[in-house]
Structure 1
Amino acid sequence: MHTAHITIMGLGNLLWADEGFGVRAAEQLFARYQLPANVDVVDGGTQGLLLLPYVEEADRLILFDAIDFGLTPGTLKVYHDDAVPAYLTAKKMSLHQTGFSEVLALADLKGNLPGQIVLIGVQPVQLEDYGGSLTDAVRAQLEPAIALAVQQLQDWGVSLSPRQDDDRLNHASLDMQRYEDERPSAELACRIGDDRVLQGEG
């Protein structure tokens, strides 16, 4: 009997405030639960078409992302299957969404789209804050988002147990608390982008 390969993927950019929601949710789920061998957790970041192999290998896919649904900031929404590509392309906030909608389209064209796709998305509050962490309203949705993913996994027959080691999805330097503690003040660091790049544009 075939055991379904499940991929849980966090999308987004940790450097731009609420854009980091998807990656933070994936990180915390990975840190909290020991997952069976058929379940992978991936920091998809903003890699676009480079994520195609991860999508094609999955029988079922759970996505965490910050999406502009046009709703009240901080709103958490869940979409399934055919509705997922539509919301990834409805109102693009960043290049990663363009890239990932293309990933799904290409996987579909090749006949390798996962049989089930679940998007757990949050309406962002703030994006234009370079080096910023999650806003309070979006941070408050991390726990509900993880709970939704856990429930979905259980519905798919996945058995979860608490993680017994201190393994993490990303390098320790990206830990959210450390990221916030070491963040320079607005006086010391440009908050609208990398100052080195911005100076070059001038």
Structure 2
Amino acid sequence: MSNRGDSILVLGIGNLLWADEGFGVRCAEALQAGWSLPDNVNILDGGTQGLYLLPYVTEARHLIVFDAIDYGLEPGTLKVIEGDDVPRFMGAKKMSLHQTGFQEVLSSAMLMDGLPESLVLIGVQPKELEDYGGSLRPEVRARLPEALQIALYKLRSWGVEPVAIEAAEDASPLNLNDYEAGRPDEEAACRIGDDRFLARMAEGHPTDVEL
């Protein structure tokens, strides 16, 4: 791809509904909320969209990816992977279906000769994934500022001058603070699935559970 100019994609991938799986998306949100960036920088909540992200990736000259990654390290450890190691690492360390999908995106971009010139993966070692409706664990949430600073450093190295902006109130129901505050306690809401429901599903009766 020779017509990508100086386009930059900052991509947060993961699933907000599974605790630390939401790290990448929360990083992208925080960058969008806290910094004014020029028009050539696109910040995208990639969620778990897989190959739907391919056009965005192939249009970018530089790519930053935020994600929760199984490095086999202590929970909350932040690690940066760059260049050719990013596709190889994501292929070898798949932790969830969205990473399988994003590995396909990178592989497809490579086959199309559309892989960005610069690849940066900013990943955190998760503590908890099996918590439906849960939020980031403290060890993981604490690394958000550092992850953003790494991304800002890379952006500056590519000629971007981020400008800090006054944080505005986010009215979205998925705003991190509101999301955490609105969650019922453990006595009112099961954290890892309702055993009665799961047992009935295993027996082949998915719709007749009285909860």
With structure 2 as the length reference, what TM-score do the two structures score? 0.88
Whether the aligned pair in 2 keeps the contact of 1:31 and 1:167 (CA below 8 Å) is: no
Task: Give 1:128's aligned amino acid.
Answer: E
CA distance in 2, matches of 1:194, 1:7: 39
Letter in 1 for 2:190: C
Q: Distance in 2 between matches of 1:8 and 1:191?
A: 31
Aligned to 1:79, the other structure's residue is in SS state: strand
In the alignment, residue 157 of structure 1 is paired with which amino acid? G
Partner Cα separation in structure 1 for residue 179 and residue 169 of structure 2: 18
Consecutive unaligned residues of structure 1, counting only runs of 5 or more, are none
Equivalent residue number for residue 101 of structure 1: 103
130 and 114 in structure 1: CA distance in 2 versus 1, 3 angstrom threshold: same
Instruction: Give the % identical residues.
Output: 56
AA in 2 matched with 1:185: D
Q: Report the CA distance shift for 1:13/1:2 in structure 2 as closer, same or farther (over 3 A).
A: closer
Please list the CA deviations of residues 155-180 of structure 1 after superposition, one character each: whole Å capped at 9, or x if unmatched: 11101112368486xx7111000000
**Corresponding residue number in structure 1 for 2:191:** 191
Q: Is the 8 A contact 1:62 1:117 kept in 2?
A: yes
Q: Which structure would you say has the larger Rg?
A: 2
Q: Once the 2 structures are TM-superposed, how far is the Cα of residue 65 of structure 1 from its aligned partner?
A: 0.3
Residue number in structure 2 paired with 1:9: 11
Q: Which amino acid aligns with 2:97?
A: L
Residue in 1 that maps onto 2:135? 133
Verify the 8 A CA contact 1:34 1:164 in the aligned structure 2. Answer: no
- The alpha carbon displacement at 1:90 in A equals 1.7
* Alignment correspondent of 1:49: 51
Q: Distance in 1 between matches of 2:196 and 2:15?
A: 19
Alignment of 1:1-202 (within 5 A): 3-163=5-165, 166=168, 172-193=172-193, 198=198, 201-202=201-202
Aligned pairs, number = 200
Superposed CA RMSD in Å reads 2.2
Quick one: which amino acid aligns to residue 155 of structure 2? L
Normalising by structure 1, we get a TM-score of: 0.92
- Supply the AA of the counterpart residue of 1:189: A
Q: Which consecutive aligned stretches of 4+ in structure 1 deviate over 6 angstroms post-superposition?
A: 194-197
1:21 is paired with a residue whose SS is helix
CA contact (8 A) 1:80 1:119 kept: yes
Q: Provide closer, same or farther for how the CA distance between residues 33 and 192 of structure 1 changes in structure 2, counting only shifts above 3 A.
A: same
Name structure 2 gaps, 5 residues minimum.
Answer: 203-211
